[in-house]
Structure 1
Amino acid sequence: MSSTTPSAHPVGLTHFAGRAGDHNDLAMIGSRELADALSARLGIEITTVGVPEPARSVGWKEELDAATPALKAMASQLDHVFSSGLTPLTACSRCAVALATLPVVAAHRPDAVVVWFDAHADLNTPEKTTSGYLGGLAYSGPLGLWDSGLGSGLTTDNAILVGARDLDPAEQELIDTGTIPLVKVGPSMADDLGTVVDGRPVYVHIDCDVLDAGTVPTDYLVPGGMTLADLRATAEVLAESEIVGLEVGELESARDEETPPSYVTALLEALTPLLTTASP
């Protein structure tokens, strides 16, 4: 991972392989493709948490109950990575994995801001969700807006949204009141993000649907998103800060016959500034 110094940082690479509120099975495959590509690029071994299981595509409570054992194992793994002095790098299936990871980040690095790249804010609560989708509650749980049973500890002062454009009313209210800042897609977004981060340590969460529809395979196709060049530019700005960790989710498999799949390679090229100083 990158930091304000040129020295390499030892990385703990984790693949969350299980289901976590999936509508289909494709992110369980896509996350494996991503983890394999990261392992090959960085020359580090993968620790796998969970196993692929058939998607249930049911309500948030049933999904959470089914995913909780694997999510607790993911929290334990991330705690181990931090406690071992490693920088966590995680290939996730779905955004809901953040219910487990972000409370651990907040416990180990309460000084870090969580920069949440996503077409959606994922700030709904069980009472206000319009879809009942577990992933739509993924950021709000760690922020303590509802009790997922997996912990919280993240404060709104340390939360930043990037690229969100498909927002529900309750989420829009949090942005309009200034509770959580939103860096919008546009030509100045890299500079805008740098201003909001203001040199603070950063933990980066990337939901691949923050990219414009069709850029990489994802469950949701939301127009008006970031280009890979936008992602590269924002990564360069974030790399000026200490990178506390990186997790990438919602990359589905298009069953590309290339090895590694071309869309995985393109995504990693955009994220290069966050990866160039990683070490085994």
Structure 2
Amino acid sequence: MATTDRHPRQATTLALAHALSAAERGLAVIPLSRTKLPAVRSPHRDDPSGTPCHGECGGFGHGVHDATTDPARIRELFAAAPWATGYGIACGLPPHYLIGVDLDTKSGTDSSAALRELALRHLFTIPATVVVLTPSGGRHLWLTGPRDVVVPNSAGRLAPGIDIRGAGGYLVGPGSRTDHGVYTTAPGTAHLPPAPCPPALLRLLLPPPRTSPRSSGAGDHGQGLVQFVLAAHEGQRNTRLFWAACRAYENGIGPALVAPLVEAARATGLTEREARATIASAARMTGHRP
């Protein structure tokens, strides 16, 4: 049922207080409106050129790109949006590299059961972590990822009703008030830190490779995995390298493929140190010694 506030200023003050508290935990935040959208309007909304700006102009109104942990800047953001009644928490940023697992109820499916089935099939367990209850009866599970892995946003890719909030996405923070009610922390989880994402689940969250019929992966000594890394564009280099290294170790060719993968990663613009760190992370994630 929709809610109404007799004191909108009080709602904004409470949202700001919750946002500042989240920032103290290292979570970058932005103000949200009752519709769960960023509350500060884009300064480029009337720009006919449509040139994308992620905050380079220095102003507010760039959505999740405005997210910050700086208390003074957070207050400025809320001052620019006195109608804000909630706050968003940016995912994929240091120090937590937050990943949000959104278990929705509006799809008419049992998303919690779907997650349990995935866990049984792929042999992982969701650890004790922060759980946020949504007004519609859904749940947000907070997990953390490795710093050298970019988890993309997705909707229903894992299973119907399961959405993932990764890099470039945000979660509605507990204490936020929307048109449908208030987001709250599940009892017994508010004091917990976000738990590391289980490696088997993390592999499911990464995008599948786009390989050609001639590049089949382990069958041709990993040439397909190397080509997969070479095809990476800026913004997906670490993700592709991590995915390829995981597949290599899972297929028993990880050690032999380290050097070719490093060279491929260097060709895309990563440094050798960055590449080796990502491959070592993949080795650990798949239970191997880097």
What TM bracket, shorter-length normalisation?
Answer: under 0.3
- Which structure is higher in RCO with an 8 Å CA cutoff and minimum separation 6? 1
- In the superposition, the TM-score normalised over structure 2's length comes to 0.27
Which structure has the greater CA radius of gyration? 2
